Structure 1
Amino acid sequence: MSAPVPPTADGSPEGDTTAPAGHAGHHHGHGPMARLHRLLDPIRANPTGRLALKITVGILGGLIVAVGIALIPLPGPGWAIVILGLAVWALEFHWAHRLLEFTRRHVRSWTTWVTRQSLGLRFVIGLVGFVFISFVVWASVKMSLGVDLWDVAMKFLGTR
């Protein structure tokens, strides 16, 4: 049996890599996320509070991610909801914080690249994205609900 690890100045065991960098006892900066981290710091200072917070954040983030994944094939903000769930997880889990930063970095670079392209190419990119999303929605509705949206649209347009 190994000896218990002494807590650091912030109350967390040394070597605890489950919480993202910048947590308890560290300067968080300014802005809403920094305020939220400072609000959670007293809870993290207590081992029971830390465990309860991890469980709560894990369950809440998991529910949000699950709803987002369920909404991905439908029109709407499925991916945005998944990213919101990831942001909730990032409050307590270092792996989620790293994944969220990776996602932000790549979305930013993609957006920067697209905005530097000509209007014609941006139109083509948008059209390809629209066709892809339309296909995913059509296939998802057909496979999950058995409804062929193309047939429904054609019947609707034929009656008008």
Structure 2
Amino acid sequence: MSETDETQSALGRFGDRITGFRDRIAEKPGQLRVYRVVVGVIGTLVLIGGIVAIPYPGPGWLIVFAGLAILGSEFMWAKRVLQFARGKYDAWTDWLGRQNLFVKLLVLTVTGLIVLATLWLLNALYLVAGWVGLDGWTWLKSPILG
């Protein structure tokens, strides 16, 4: 048996265990309700974390898609939103890849400004300024948390 076959076999067994677990929960309406609430809460928290992380370097969109996938395991609307969002994300990256350098730099600049604005609003810029002896720069204070 090849390594690929072994991996597929292991994934199949894992999928069977998950399906069995889910089927046992579905037999008891009270447990099903609790399970769906837990999946909803976890999926929503992951989704919100992903949305917050989108403008920052790192896996923001991956986290969004993970949150939607968690929600989609129990809620059909989330599965549809996940398919829609993945299609739009792929279309956006394809479009951006076809653009000239000016447009790519413009998108990068706007993303950087969003990151700076959120760091300013969260008072992170003033905090770091204080670490390096620039706490007199009061214009770095957040208007919300300052």
Identify the TM-score tier after normalising by the shorter chain.
0.5 to 0.7
Which structure is higher in RCO with an 8 Å CA cutoff and minimum separation 6? 1
2:69 and 2:78 map into 1 onto residues whose CA distance is 7
* 1:69–1:103 distance in 2 versus 1, CA, 3 Å: closer
More helix by share: 2
Q: Match of 1:13?
A: none
Task: Confirm whether residue 43 of structure 1 aligns to residue 27 of structure 2.
Answer: no
Do the aligned partners of 1:44 and 1:53 also contact (CA within 8 Å) in 2?
A: no
Deviation at 1:130, TM superposition (A): 1.0
Structure 2: stretches of 5+ with no match in the other structure: 1-7, 138-146
Does structure 1 conserve the Cα–Cα contact (< 8 Å) formed by 2:55 and 2:111?
A: no
Whichever residue aligns with residue 122 of structure 1, its letter is: K
Counterpart mapping for 1:123-138 below 5 A:
123-138=105-120
In 1, distance between residues paired with 2:105 and 2:55? Answer: 23
Q: 1:138 Cα shift?
A: 1.3
Q: Tell me, what secondary structure is at the counterpart of 2:28?
A: helix
- RMSD (Å) for aligned C-alpha atoms: 4.0
Q: Where do residues 61-100 of structure 1 align in structure 2 (5 Å cutoff)?
A: 61-68=43-50, 77=59, 80-100=62-82
Query: Hey, what's the Cα distance between the residues in 2 that align with 1:112 and 1:73?
Result: 18
Judging changes above 3 Å, is the alpha-carbon distance between structure 1 residues 35 and 125 closer, same or farther for their aligned structure 2 residues? farther
Match of 1:155 among 131, 134, 145: 134
In 2, Cα distance between the equivalents of 1:61 and 1:119? 37
1:133 to partner: Cα distance: 2.0
Alignment check: 8 A CA contact 2:55 2:114 kept:
no
Amino acid at match of 1:155: L
Gaps of 5+ in 1: 1-29
Instruction: Give the drift of 1:43.
Output: 2.9
- How many residues of Structure 1 are paired with residues of Structure 2 in the alignment? 123
TM-score by length of 2: 0.59
State the identity as a percent: 31
Q: Give the aligned partner of residue 121 of structure 1.
A: 103
Deviation string 1:103-155 (CA, Å, 9 cap, x unpaired) is 1111111100000001222112111211122112212x13xx7x636965792
> Which of 94, 101, 118 is the matching residue for 2:83?
101
- Counterparts of 1:76 and 1:108 in 2: how far apart (Å)? 17
**1:33 positional shift:** 8.9
Q: Report the secondary structure of 2:99's partner residue.
A: coil
Deviation at 1:88, TM superposition (A): 0.9
